[in-house]
Structure 1
Amino acid sequence: MKRWTVCAMLCALAGSARADNLMQIYGIVDGGLAYVTNVAGAHVWSQTSGVAQSNRWGLRGSEDLGGGNRAIFRLENGFTLNDGRFSQGGLEFGRQAFVGLQSNRFGTLTLGRQYDFMTTNLAGFSSGMLTPSVFAFHLGDLDRLGAERIDNAVRYVTPEFSGVQLGALYAFGGQPGSLSSHSAFGFGASYHAGDFKAGAAYVQIHDFTAAFGIGTTVLGAPLVGTSSLGLLPRFQTFDKLTGSGFGASYQAGPALLHALFTMVELEQNGERASLHIMEAGVKYLITAAFSVAGSYARSTLAGMGWNQFVAGADYLLSKRTDVYLNLVNLRASAGVQAQLFTLPASSSSRQTVLSLGLRHTF
């Protein structure tokens, strides 16, 4: 009995000594069923992985260095639930992998594979996050709201001052003899005051590789995804991608009103094509556990247009488990194959997906 008492006391002392340090294992497990009206001319029923949020598990931690300073890290793996494989092209920690320093006074500096500010500052105003449905993100996720990452990135974010926070990012290309090849840089700003939130972002990526299809050809590059997850049979590289945007939301009682504008410019051999996207929607809390959402997005590119309608419902079974039902409909210009994000292209200018799923967080 004395031996167990001493062990318990030692464990308590060890926990107290490490109280300022933190290490967590966390994750999301999300799966369901989906019905797509048109994939290469056929209706498709499938078991889906990560519709509300992509499946992941990760490690994150911090160590108190004193004086309001901390060492931080995050390693986050993505996987597909239906077959257990790694996502992000088979990378072990493809979602995030970074280490850094965080200071109450000076802000946060991190190094590694990270999100740019298009994701961190604007995604929260999009229907892809608020419905929630991965299919509700925009064409091929060219505006990078659906969690796109940048390798070899150095990212700095200021402390928050009167609701304002600023940030900057630079990614080294790693190409001998060239500073610009495969490099990237970006900026971001966010603001909140009471029920109002706003964000802005900018990113420029040299030698950008497009992996997902949008159902048409851009600057001579065929961007029609026919492979699994809507991936292109052959990835297309552009000389440069420049993305920018701003978004805002306002919580009016049980209704969250949100709006978003993004612009993407692709450049190839001196020619440019600009994609403009406007989105607006509302998420309404019917009860503490039950919410509904709806939105509309209009996209235009080189004389072509897309109209996207999104509706969804989400019910919390507990603080960590919910069920959802989502409908996303895309209507493209004549002659353009409709293609929702992460789905293979339709044979026509229309495509609709209905999804029912279960999400658990830990």
Structure 2
Amino acid sequence: MKKQVIALAATAAFTASVFAQSSVTLYGVIDEGIDYTNNVGGNSVVELQSGYAQGSRWGMKGAEDLGGGNKAIFQLENGFDLNSGRLGQGGRMFGRQAYVGLSNDKFGTVTFGRQYDSVVDYLAQTTSNGNWSGYLFSHPFDNDNTDNSFRVNNTIKYASPDIAGFKFGGTYSFSNDTNFANDRQYSIGAQYATGGLLLAAAYLQANNAGATTGGAIATNDASFLAQRMRVFGAGINYTLGSATVGFAYTNSNYKNPTGNGYLADPAAIIAPGATLNTLKFQNFELNAKYQVTPAFFVGGEYVYTMESYDASTGGVKPKVHSVGLMADYNVSKRTDFYVQGMYQKVAGDKTNSVMDNAFILGTQAPSSTANQFAFRAAIRHKF
């Protein structure tokens, strides 16, 4: 009997030790506010909207220590609309992230599932919308995915460890189609951080983005539906004391685009009676943020976007100017209040499509003119 008691005690101690090396964390963000838009199809609107500075979400993530610097890891993250209770990201249960993988202290991390691409992981952090401002401050139509309009399904991702401030990674997303390249995606990216300096670059390509429901970029998840999508860019942030300034350049190229996921009529980007051969965007962003006190910051951005619209009816090159301002005050470690204002103006050549009208992402629909203004006052709570 004494031997059995000792054996049971030893087993219990070993089991407790194993469990102590595992962890599961439940977390979330609730972002809720009142929005005003001066022109939505010719009328102003005031509305209650969820998830702008950060998408409203809840999730679980965990790790199990396997020994030798190895860990098994997972993350499941749900997006939702606070006002209706609807699931986000096309009605997916875990539409923001859903993956499992292995991590090693020396060699990095490999994960499998629905994940972020390298533009989001590395480059977006040098833009204001991919860092501190969110949805309203996106580049037109989020053409470069720096605001994470879509995630990539069926994805294998590698992320390196931090090597003296340098880290890199990449993704490959299977089409899961008998035609191997039909709706697949791949991306690479890198960052270097030292002192107050952050440098980043990334490249992404998707073939037949949005062409299938089960591919890398699903039909109801795509920002643009196109035969080929290419995005590349680079950015820099520099922090000195309380001030951070940044510049980011991105280049997005869509071959034979047929629609846009943000519009009620996706094909409205195409001029009547025309075929759209290519649609290109070059975004030049200047951003700045000043931490007035540990609890209060102000920030702003200016984005100059050059579009190239090549249709069967001819080629034109519109320009888009976007200016945004934000102030944020933390009343505690988990709760803050913020206000944002965004103005957009479309200038230059006309495409004879909906793209001639200003459209700030986060508003209900494009303006009836080349100008649009949106204002938001919100509360954000993290848990």
Tell me the TM-score normalized by structure 2.
Answer: 0.82
Matched, 1:348 2:349: no
Cα deviation, 1:130-162, whole Å, max 9, x if unaligned, reads 452311011111201112310001011122212
**Among 255, 262, 271, the residue aligned to 2:250:** 262
Provide the residue aligned with 2:329 in structure 1. Answer: 315
Provide the residue aligned with 1:241 in structure 2. Answer: 229
Matched, 1:111 2:112: yes
Q: Using CA pairs under 8 Å that are at least 6 residues apart, name the structure with larger relative contact order, 1 or 2.
A: 1
| Cα distance in 1 between the residues matched to 2:52 and 2:171 | 29
Which secondary structure does the structure 1 equivalent of 2:177 belong to?
Answer: coil
Provide the residue aligned with 2:300 in structure 1. Answer: 294
- For 2:47, give the aligned amino acid: S
Which secondary structure does the structure 2 equivalent of 1:18 belong to?
Answer: helix
**Contact 1:201 1:245 (C-alpha < 8 Å) held by counterparts:** yes
Cα deviation for residue 126 of structure 1 reads 1.4
Q: Give ranges in structure 2 of 5+ residues lacking alignment.
A: 1-10, 212-219, 258-275, 309-316, 351-355
Matched, 1:181 2:182: yes
Which secondary structure does the structure 2 equivalent of 1:201 belong to?
Answer: strand
- Higher mean displacement: 191-200 or 201-210: 201-210
Provide the residue aligned with 1:220 in structure 2. Answer: none
Cα deviation for residue 313 of structure 1 reads 0.2
**Contact 1:140 1:342 (C-alpha < 8 Å) held by counterparts:** no
Cα deviation, 1:158-185, whole Å, max 9, x if unaligned, reads 2221211111211110111x22111111
Q: Give ranges in structure 1 of 5+ residues lacking alignment.
A: 1-9, 211-230
Aligned length: 331
Cα deviation for residue 78 of structure 1 reads 0.3
**Contact 2:183 2:210 (C-alpha < 8 Å) held by counterparts:** no
Which secondary structure does the structure 2 equivalent of 1:118 belong to?
Answer: helix
Equivalent runs, 1:128-277 vs 2, <5 Å: 128-147=129-148, 148-176=150-178, 178-209=179-210, 237-268=225-256, 271-277=277-283
Cα deviation, 1:74-98, whole Å, max 9, x if unaligned, reads 0100000111110111000000000
Cα deviation for residue 272 of structure 1 reads 2.9
Provide the residue aligned with 2:289 in structure 1. Answer: 283
- For 1:313, give the aligned amino acid: A
Equivalent runs, 1:57-72 vs 2, <5 Å: 57-72=58-73
Provide the residue aligned with 2:312 in structure 1. Answer: none
Q: Which runs of 4+ in 1 moved over 4 A?
A: 10-17
**Contact 1:31 1:49 (C-alpha < 8 Å) held by counterparts:** yes
Which secondary structure does the structure 2 equivalent of 1:333 belong to?
Answer: strand
**Contact 2:334 2:381 (C-alpha < 8 Å) held by counterparts:** yes
Change (3 A) 1:315 1:12: farther
Cα deviation, 1:273-311, whole Å, max 9, x if unaligned, reads 321001011100111111100110000112011000010
| Cα distance in 2 between the residues matched to 1:41 and 1:130 | 32
Provide the residue aligned with 2:7 in structure 1. Answer: none
Cα deviation for residue 122 of structure 1 reads 1.7
Paired-residue identity, %: 34
Change (3 A) 1:300 1:59: same
Equivalent runs, 1:117-128 vs 2, <5 Å: 117-128=118-129
Cα deviation for residue 268 of structure 1 reads 1.4
**Contact 1:156 1:167 (C-alpha < 8 Å) held by counterparts:** yes
Provide the residue aligned with 1:221 in structure 2. Answer: none
- For 2:63, give the aligned amino acid: S
Matched, 1:337 2:357: yes
| Cα distance in 2 between the residues matched to 1:81 and 1:287 | 30
Which secondary structure does the structure 2 equivalent of 1:122 belong to?
Answer: helix
| Cα distance in 1 between the residues matched to 2:70 and 2:101 | 11
Change (3 A) 1:325 1:206: same
| Cα distance in 2 between the residues matched to 1:79 and 1:118 | 23
- For 1:242, give the aligned amino acid: R
Which secondary structure does the structure 2 equivalent of 1:286 belong to?
Answer: strand
Matched, 1:360 2:361: no
Provide the residue aligned with 2:8 in structure 1. Answer: none
**Contact 1:130 1:293 (C-alpha < 8 Å) held by counterparts:** no
**Contact 2:141 2:223 (C-alpha < 8 Å) held by counterparts:** no
**Contact 1:321 1:359 (C-alpha < 8 Å) held by counterparts:** yes
Which secondary structure does the structure 2 equivalent of 1:135 belong to?
Answer: helix
| Cα distance in 1 between the residues matched to 2:51 and 2:99 | 23
